[in-house]
Amino acid sequence: MTHYDLIVIGAGPGGTPAATAAAQFGKKVLIVDKRGEPGGECLFEGCIPSKILENAANRYAMLKNATEFHIDLEGAPQIHWEQVIAEKEKILAMRSQAALKQMEAMKTLDFKAGTARFVDANTIDVDGERFSFDKAIVATGASAYLPPIQGEGVAHAWTNAHIFKQTKLPEEIAFIGAGAISCELVQMFAKLGVKCHLLERGPRILKRIDEEAALMVQKRMQEQGIDVILNVTFGEIEGAEGDFTIHYEQNGEQKSLKVPHLLIATGRAANVEGIGLEEAGVEFDRHGIKVDKTLQTSQPHIYAVGDCAVGPKFAHWATYQAGIAIHNLYAPSRHEADASKLSWVLFSDPQIASAGLSEAEAQKAGKEVEVIRYDYRIDARAQIDHAPEGLLKFVIDKSDGSIVGIQIVSEDASSLSGEAALIVAKKMKPMEVMGAIHPHPTLTEAFGKLAQSYFFQSMMRRPHGRGKPPHA
């Protein structure tokens, strides 16, 4: 039986950087992945394929709307969806092979395709072959969660694992669930001329996101012709691919919707079943593997990172956690994962970006905060781009004046998220942000303008105009 210093289960955005980092430290490492190709769900069924398809849809929409900028195009623009899918497959293969070659170049790192299962706290089985280890990292990710809705149609519906493989553009599709995955995909398909329905149990879309930001996206969806159906109680889903019937109740009225295609995106379930966590003595529940702030499980020599662990589920969070886990496994000091610095982007229309805490999250954490906002309607760049719908928010901790959260809604919020992440990570104050000279005319100017506005408001609040502004 071959022995390793470290075994990593899962070769996604958490497992791959963890394994390569350990190998760079000279550790003998085995990384196992059931797909047989590094990349994980983010590469094959998540972040990357969705952005490739979204990129094509956005450019197609720009051509259709060219007349807004006084541009006439002869003939109607066309999109060749099968070629978009083929390009997606090419990019995914290129990225996966590049990661595999990087691992193959490391002399102390072995990659093995197969299904791994813990035999005990120091042994795994991979399709009948056993390996022992000193330390381990579980990075098995998460999969689509299918809700307990009645009817055979649920089992026949698409999830994100299926949608990116469809070479033919659907004419009509219904989405169940109004979280991040559904909201990105429904707008993408609507831009391509697909008739789209979005059904959600709650009173609005994106229930975990800042309400003002979410409602701006919801308004845009309705303007795009998307049939947004809220406050739904689901009955039975009948049928299969090509002929689904969704029965539901809305405001006390029984209704049904017939569609040829159905996608269910009602959340993610951690991949923790069937990998022998019980045999290894690793505690977990339906939300994922239980870890402390250092990412250590109930077994001191076994760590968990990414979507399989309890906590946020983002590819970049998994990569960040991988660095924390490797440090804690092999360095003399201990580091803790700090979710208060987490940033993310929703590639909706308009985009939503967030760094740190929202107002609701800050209040839940017991912080007394002040929220200030900038409306992009007055912004030069937004007006030039014909994209005035948007905002920038600072969530300021009243105890020390630091910016603990930033929310952005704009056509290009993703490009602004880096500055937001840095401000929050460094716990900067508006005065410090105001000290930066932002180029004009850009959307990032809003950071300086909002900070300046707060400074002048603070000056006005000083008694008799004396003394320093609060938290200067």
| CATH number of the domain bearing residue 185 | 3.50.50.60
Tell me, yes or no, whether 328 and 391 share the same domain: no
Residue where a domain stops, chosen among 266, 297, 320:
266
- Pick the last residue of a domain from 337, 369, 396: 337
Per-residue model confidence (pLDDT) at position 467: 56
**Is the per-residue pLDDT at 166 higher than 70?**
yes
- Statement: residue 125 has pLDDT above 70: yes
Kindly state whether residues 124 and 13 are assigned to the same domain.
yes
> In the chain, how many domains are there?
3
391-397 and 403-410 strand pairing: antiparallel
Q: How far is CA 398 from CA 94, 156, 362, 401, 459, in A?
A: 48, 51, 11, 5, 15
Q: For 197-245, what is each residue's pLDDT tens digit?
A: 999 999 999 999 999 999 999 999 999 999 999 999 999 999 999 999 9
Whole-number pLDDT of residue 65: 86
Q: Is residue 167 part of a domain?
A: yes
Same-domain status, 113 and 177? no
Tokens (6 digits) for 84: 């978009």
Go through the chain and tell me how many residues it has.
472
How far apart are the C-alpha atoms of 178 and 264, rounded to whole Å?
A: 10
236-265 pLDDT, tens per residue? 999 999 999 999 999 999 999 999 999 999
pLDDT digits (tens, 9 = 90+) for 367-398: 999 999 999 999 999 999 999 999 999 999 99
Give 66's Cβ-side CA count (13 Å radius): 11
Kindly state whether residue 469 falls inside one of the protein's structural domains: no
261 and 281 assigned to the same domain: no
d(C-alpha 264, C-alpha 266), whole Å: 6
pLDDT number for residue 77: 84
Classified as helix, coil or strand, 348 is: coil
- Spatial distance between the Cα atoms of 126 and 153, rounded to a whole number of angstroms: 34
Q: What is the mean pLDDT of residues 142-169?
A: 92
| Alpha carbon distance 328, 94 (integer Å) | 32
What is the widest separation between alpha-carbon atoms in the chain?
A: 79
Query: Please, what sign has the CA dihedral across residues 157, 226, 205, 189?
Result: positive
> For residues 303 and 295, is the Cβ–Cβ distance under 8 A?
yes
- HSE-up (13 A, CA, CB side) for residue 408: 28
The count of other CB atoms within 10 Å of the CB of residue 26 is 11
- Are 21 and 134 within one domain? yes
| Domain harbouring 444, CATH code | 3.30.390.30
Q: Quick one: average pLDDT of 423-451?
A: 96
* Structural domain includes residue 148: no
Q: What value does the mean pLDDT take over residues 59-77? A: 87
Pair (260, 371) in one structural domain? no
- What pLDDT does 67 receive? 86
For the chain, what is the total number of helices (H) and then of strands (E)? 15, 23
Q: Report which DSSP code applies to 334.
A: -
Residues 298 and 415 in one domain: no
User: Are the C-beta atoms of residues 144 and 123 closer than 8 Å to each other?
Assistant: no
- Do 92 and 44 contact (CB within 8 A), yes or no? yes
One domain for residues 44 and 137: yes
> In the structure, what pLDDT confidence band is assigned to residue 74 with cuts at 50, 70 and 90?
confident
Residue 89 lies in a domain: yes
CA distance 278 to 271: 14
Q: Is residue 328 situated within a structural domain?
A: yes
Question: What average pLDDT score do residues 116-130 get?
Answer: 98
Inside any domain, residue 169: yes
Specify whether 178 is located in the same domain as 239.
yes
According to DSSP, residue 453 is labeled H
Label residue 161 by pLDDT band (50, 70, 90): confident
Q: What torsion do the CA atoms of 407, 412, 417, 420 make, to the nearest 10 degrees?
A: -50
Domain boundary pick from 314, 337, 360: 337
Which 3 state secondary structure label does DSSP give 112? Answer: strand
What residue numbers bound the domain in which 378 lies?
340-462
Which pLDDT score, from 0 to 100, does residue 463 have?
Answer: 67
- For residue 472, tell me if it sits in a domain: no
The answer on 73 and 199 residing in a single domain is no
Q: What is the pLDDT of residues 264-303, one digit of tens each?
A: 999 899 999 999 999 999 999 989 999 999 999 999 999 9
Q: State the DSSP code for 114.
A: S
- Whether 332 and 345 map to the same domain: the answer is no
Is the same domain home to 130 and 260? Answer: no
Beta-strand relationship, 123-126 and 129-138:
antiparallel
**Domain for residue 36, yes or no?**
yes
